[in-house]
Amino acid sequence: LRLRNAEKRGHVVLQEAILVGVLAGAYLVVVTLPFNPILRLLWILTITFLASYRSFRINGSSIAPSRAFIFAVFVAQVVTFLAWAVTALESFLILNEGTFAVILLFAWYINRGLVRHTVEDSFTRHVVLEYLAFAAVLVYLFVSSYQPGR
């Protein structure tokens, strides 16, 4: 495999699992600590950007640094906007820190995956179904925490 410049079997899956675990932990720390909302959003933006950039540069087929940078900015913007929406709707949501971190993680995974598969031109029916399933869970987590009378 190394002579053909290919990854070892399971290596990409292991890298993704480690990245997802570290990112979930980072999100959990940021939403748990008593930061003011602006600082929390800046940390979420930074963490999401760094994880996305690393994913675009290292995992799977490598994307050029300038393209990886702009794609990571796009992913970080979307996840930060979702975090801002959740923060703005705090008075209507019953959302613990773990669920908030999972929502951010799913948003990152979906957006990063959509960009990755668009760049690699590797969309299949299975890929679309995977992201639709994650999006359905994300919407369920958001909607199930909504309490209109609060």
**pTM (2 decimals)?**
0.90
CA distances from 96 to 21, 107, 125, 145 (A): 19, 17, 34, 9
- % of the chain residues with pLDDT over 90: 73
Provide the pLDDT for residue 45. 98
Query: In sequence order, what DSSP letters do the residues of 19-38 get, joined into one string?
Result: HHHHHHHHHHHHHHS---HH
Q: Is the pLDDT of residue 1 over 60?
A: no
